[in-house]
Amino acid sequence: MAARHPLHPALVHFPVACWSLATAADLASLHFGERAWWLGGMLVLVGCVLALPAMLAGLYEMTRIPTGSPAMQTVYLHMGAMLVAFTLYLASLLLRAQHFQLHRPGNASPAFDIAGFLALAVGGWCGGRIVYHYGIGTRAG
């Protein structure tokens, strides 16, 4: 029987990278100005769009976890942290978008990015624990 490769772990790298780089770009915009904040805004946008298929794949993969698995508590923590990250980055995007154009973010937008990055770190740690500690999505899990 051929091994099944979960789609969720392959998809999550893109929004994680976009949001992480967006946070760095927004912080860099304090020194570099418009080019950096525009890049940060585009990365937040792309990260939010790419997060949608990653979240859907994650929901599907969750249905394949055996009932009563000890990993479920960590799965729910992972889902919650990633939903918080998505919400914070989406708020950051909405604060800087007017009439479908990006504008210089105010002080709240980078603050949402930093809080989103912290939630992303917690969610990423939980995701790693799901795979490497519990073996979910591997031949062992």
- Please state whether beta strands 97-98 and 101-102 pair in parallel, antiparallel, or not at all (unpaired): antiparallel
Which positions of the chain have pLDDT values less than 70? Answer: 1-4, 139-141
85-120 per-position pLDDT tens digit? 999 999 999 998 888 888 887 788 889 999 999 999
Q: What is the pTM of this model?
A: 0.91
User: How far is the C-alpha of 27 from the C-alpha of 23, rounded, in Å?
Assistant: 6
Phi then psi for residue 102, to 5 deg, are: -85, 140
Map tokens 């912080």 to a residue.
Answer: 27
User: How far is the C-alpha of 50 from the C-alpha of 15, rounded, in Å?
Assistant: 6
One-letter amino acid of 82 = M
